[in-house]
Amino acid sequence: MSAAGVAPTAVVAGRPSRDIGIALTVAALWLLLALFVVYPLVMLFARMLGMLGGRGSVDFGALLALLTDRNQLRAFWNSLLLAFLVGTVGTLAGFLFAFTATRCRLPRAAVTAIDASVLLPLVSPPFTTAIAMIFSFGPRGLITYGVFGLKGYTVYGLGATLFSEALTYFPIAYLTLRPILTAIDSNIEGMAQSLGASRWRVFRTVTLPLTVPGIANAFLLLFAASLADFATPLILAGNSFPVLPTQAYLQITGLFDLRGGAALSFALLVPALIVFLLQRYWVSRRFYVTITGKGAGQTPFDSVSPGGRIVLIASVISITVVVAYFYALLLYASLVVALGANHTPTLAHYRVIFTDGWNAIRDTLIIAGFSMPLGGLYGILLGYLVTRHRFPGRRTMEAVSMMNYALPGTIVGIAYLIAFNDPPLVLTGTALIIIACYVFRYGPTGIRATVALLQQIDPSLEEASQGLGARSGTTFRRVTLPLIMPAFFAGLGIVFIRSMTAISATIFLVSISWTLITVKILEDITELSLGPAAAFSVLVVVIVFVVVAGISRVLREFRAPGAPGVSLFGG
Amino acid sequence: MIVVPRSVRRLVHATAAVALALVALLSGAPVRAADTLNVYSIWPENWARPMFEEFEKASGIKVNFVRFSSGEALARVIAEKNNPRVDVLFGGPVETFAAGIAEGVFEPYKPPTFGKLPARFRHPDGQWTAIADDPLVFMTNDKFLKEHGLNAPASWNDLLNPAYKNMLQMADARTSGTAVTRIFSVIEVNGRDENKAFDYMKKLRPQVQLYTKSGGGGTLPVGLGQAGAGIFFIVDALDTKAKGYDVTISFPREGIGTSAEAIALIKGAKNPEQAKKLIDWATSPAMQNLFAKYKINFVPAHPDVALEPSLAEVLKGTKIFPIDADYAGANRKRVVDRWVAEVLNP
């Protein structure tokens, strides 16, 4: 996350928009938001209360019994505990990486290596580490038994889930913290030291306090990510550590208790909303204060002692080795007949995914291909309108546009399933429902990037264009758009990555005509057809790497000299 | 002065136009054509796919299918009742179908083979018809047995041996038909004394390392030795052995349940004629003779289809009883709820 989360109200041009084009665009966006954000959530709530669609009136007693069921309460607290731990561990790891990358005077190649190893978990389907965990730990695990000779150790539970989620999500913390650590003027640290402070004291009293808002932001992002994740616990949490997103999923798909599943989802809404509001109104505001302007000549500050440097680098290398080990294992699993029984090399699994799995690959690419431009367009349009134009309900629009982003995917998916399965708008079974889900769930990254960029561009440029007689549409196309191209591509990139890797919402939306690679992987894992699951995962990693590299290239082309940089993952 | 590259403008225009055009295209519903059929398969893809390909060869009708575990498939069919997305529910234990009848999601249909099938392989009104029979088995890891000096379990009570503590994997009754058949087996061997059956299952609980989402989910952990043993359908167990894992298949002397695998026509199916053709084909020797060819170790339901010799060898001398479909259907929800409350989360 860059400085994108800042409230945009302060820099809005003071000119109310009377332009018909603007009015129409605003109306269209409101219609879309009403349809794909508000309507599903209202329907979910109504279904839960039994106001429609259900059989007969709602049995509040049963609903209350479900919500206060000892086991569901335990799942609720487990979810919070897991999210808290993932937030803590992941932020620590992310800080470690960011601090090492920015303060250890590493050679360029080493920093690139760190970036690559961090990118890997970020672009993989969220449960690929879970596959590797099953292999490595357990009574006959490659590591527990093979290396340490432990017997009777079982992998399933809090530890494994925490480990897997922290490893998957810590890159978010890294990407949040690294720009902040880079932005801190090293002259400040240098001055503190020349005033006699030890390195540790400089870290404790200067560097750390300046990073605190970023740390809090990273923690909250990880907390939300963990709270929304149901696939990892589904595979690794076992039966002794139920968590709420998984319970809601089983309640609906296993027991076909839609009402109960909805109720459980809304229970998740409470902590999710608290986290969102905290991030939106507290952290993002404090965030800005730490950006101290463009540093003049930076004097390199020797912030790490030689011993500390070795410890830091060693820690980073060991985590990198773990990441590399998991993905090497995944690659290996995709290339042998049956991991654990028959290690004859084979390409059979790749043949399987390109024949039997071809539909899923094709569908995923088509859906990702459509979600990508739509999500990018949606992001810049909405971001531009709420930043540069004044119209009634502007702030509400921004808040509403963030809702699907902030809510756990399970809730969004269930809400879509309920809302679009019956008339007036029947979308289940189409690709459109999946595309809409991705656009409105991940498009907001583009909104944030657009808002952040526009805040750094003087509105007088656009006013000049309009003063010369250009309509707002023309001004937008010819002046604003080229300036916010980086945000467009950042939005594209995130929507594409998520379209290839997300599952929590869309598992409810796949159908006979449209299925997704991630859903196939999950099915393969639950059936323990690990070869095809591993091959699919490798394929996803390769596709995403190629596309992200392509987008990053275009992004560099479009960045005007001196224009603020936008990280592809900045949100 | 900012000059807008023409390419940028073109890009934006193209993006918007393509996006709009294709959204319209993509919103279409599943194809309804003379020669296609939409199916939810409960059988895993690697068995369902060859069957549907053979059916296409025989009839010219292409089958679009997606695979779900039985609980998920049934949940979908019920959810889509007002606007069915598929024509046929294919495979899966009969008790799943019994639960579907209660929800009114099937259209009765009696295929030509109906009269030839034993009573337990067909619903009296033709709500479903069986295509195969699938007994449960115990499957144990050979190395685990050797390490603990044990013989393969030959009684339900053998699984209570302390050696199995935290070493069993079996399916979760919330999502798996295998689990429901297993639970009804335990109830049956306890003379339908539910309390006695639940006492046993509660005693078994500490032995269980993981209740898996799907019926076959525990087979590979047992094959790898991550778990010591489990209770699975014979098809899944024999499949594990065929993959090269060293496992032993055994049966409890008290007996163990078997569940017919069924097929049914969905009420309101959009391609009913093609659907009926698939049902005719699947319930006849035409499909069931192919089980051996594709190494699908189901016991054929049609009396004219011979049991594959190696499968007959495995089943020799075992005590296998059918699960009473009416009893299971009527009590499923209550029993599963009780299992969740008393066994899964005591």
Q: What is the distance in angstroms between the Cα of B229 and the nearest Cα belonging to chain A?
A: 12
Handedness of CA A259, A36, A271, A81 (dihedral sign): positive
d(CA B90, CA B41): 5
Q: What is the distance in angstroms between the Cα of B126 and the nearest Cα belonging to chain A?
A: 25
Task: Out of A525-529, B21-25, B154-158, give the one with best mean pLDDT.
Answer: B154-158
Q: How far is CA A566 from CA A2, A96, A262, A557, A558, in A?
A: 8, 23, 37, 13, 11
CB A397: neighbour CB atoms within 10 A? 18
d(CA B109, CA A214): 64
Task: Give the side-chain half-sphere CA count within 13 A for A506.
Answer: 33
pLDDT, one tens digit per residue, over B279-324 is: 999 999 999 999 989 888 899 999 999 888 888 888 988 999 988 8
- Residues of chain B found within 8 Å of residue A255, distances taken between Cβ atoms: 71, 75, 174, 336
Question: A242 in the Ramachandran plot: left (φ > 0), alpha (ψ -120 to 50) or beta?
Answer: beta
Alpha-carbon Rg for chain B, nearest whole angstrom, is: 23
CB contact under 8 A, A139 and B225: yes
Query: Which residue type sits at A120?
Result: L
Q: What is the mean pLDDT of residues B185-197?
A: 93
CB contact under 8 A, B26 and A139: no
Q: pLDDT band at residue B12, thresholds of 50, 70 and 90?
A: low
pLDDT at A11: 39
Structure tokens at A372: 């990508």
The reply to whether B36-133+261-316 and B134-258+326-344 are identical in fold is yes
Mode of pairing for the β-strands spanning B247-250 and B320-322: unpaired
Among B146, B213, B239, B344, the residue to mutate for chain A (most A Cβ within 10 A): B213
Alpha-carbon Rg for chain A, nearest whole angstrom, is: 24
Task: Please name the fold of domain B134-258+326-344.
Answer: D-Maltodextrin-Binding Protein; domain 2 (3.40.190)
Phi, psi of A169 (to 5 degrees): -100, -10
Structure tokens at A466: 């309009």
Place of tokens 């890997």: A120
Domain ranges of chain B: 36-133+261-316, 134-258+326-344
- Residues of chain A found within 8 Å of residue B8, distances taken between Cβ atoms: 481-482, 485
Helices and strands of chain A, counted as H and E runs: 27, 2
DSSP output for B295-318: T--PEESSTTSPPPHHHHHHHTT-
Q: What is the distance in angstroms between the Cα of B300 and the nearest Cα belonging to chain A?
A: 23
DSSP output for A164-211: HHHHHHHHHHHHHHHHHHHHS-HHHHHHHHHTT--HHHHIIIIIHHHH
Handedness of CA A558, A564, A568, A571 (dihedral sign): negative
d(CA B311, CA A245): 42
Q: How far is CA A237 from CA A75, A164, A224, B337, in A?
A: 11, 10, 18, 21
Closest to A133 in 3D by CA, of A541, A525, A535: A525
d(CA A101, CA A112): 9
Q: How far is CA A555 from CA A69, A400, A484, B295, B330, in A?
A: 51, 28, 11, 53, 62
d(CA A521, CA A124): 12
pLDDT at A570: 36
CB contact under 8 A, A479 and B71: no
Tell me if the domain spanning A1-50+369-513 has CATH number 1.10.10.10: no
Handedness of CA B339, B343, B344, B346 (dihedral sign): positive
pLDDT at B243: 78
Bridge partners of B106, per DSSP, are B266
- Residues of chain B found within 8 Å of residue A482, distances taken between Cβ atoms: 2, 4-5, 8
d(CA A269, CA A283): 20
* Mean pLDDT split into 10-residue runs, chain A, 571 residues: 37 53 88 93 80 54 74 88 94 91 81 78 72 74 69 76 88 79 73 80 79 79 82 81 84 71 79 75 52 45 76 89 86 85 86 88 93 90 85 83 78 84 82 92 81 71 80 78 76 84 83 87 74 89 85 68 44 31
CB contact under 8 A, A528 and B220: yes
The reply to whether omega before A564 is within 30° of 0 (cis) is no
Domain ranges of chain A: 1-50+369-513
Phi, psi of A180 (to 5 degrees): -70, -45
Is B251 or A469 the better-scoring residue by pLDDT?
A: B251
Q: Are the C-beta atoms of B261 and B96 separated by less than 8 Å? A: no
Q: What is the distance in angstroms between the Cα of A366 and the nearest Cα belonging to chain B?
A: 10
Q: Is A426 on the interface with B (CB under 8 A)?
A: yes
Q: Are the C-beta atoms of A564 and A457 separated by less than 8 Å? A: no
Q: Which CATH class is domain B36-133+261-316?
A: alpha beta
**A181: Cβ–Cβ under 8 A, 6 or more apart, which residues?**
A98, A99, A102, A103, A207, A211, A214
Query: Does the reported pTM lie above 0.80?
Result: no
* pLDDT > 70 fraction of chain B, expressed in percent and rounded: 90
Does the ipTM surpass 0.95?
A: no
Nearest CB to A512; choose among B28, B85, B336: B85
Structure tokens at A399: 């808040």
The separation between the first and the last C-alpha atoms of chain A, rounded to the nearest angstrom, is: 4
Instruction: Report the 3 state secondary structure along B233-279.
Output: EHHHHHHHHHCCCCEEEECCCCCEEEEEEEEEEECCCCCHHHHHHHH
d(CA B68, CA A249): 14
pLDDT at A461: 76
Q: Are the C-beta atoms of B114 and B228 separated by less than 8 Å? A: no
**B168: Cβ–Cβ under 8 A, 6 or more apart, which residues?**
B159, B204, B207, B208, B209, B227, B228, B229, B230, B231
Q: Is A481 on the interface with B (CB under 8 A)?
A: yes
pLDDT at B2: 41
Burial A452-470 (b: 16+ CB within 10 A, else e): bbbbebebeebeebbeeeb
Place of tokens 């940089």: A565
Helix, coil or strand: residue A449: helix
Q: Is the pLDDT of residue B227 over 60?
A: yes
CB contact under 8 A, B219 and A431: no
Bridge partners of B211, per DSSP, are B170
Bridge partners of B107, per DSSP, are B265
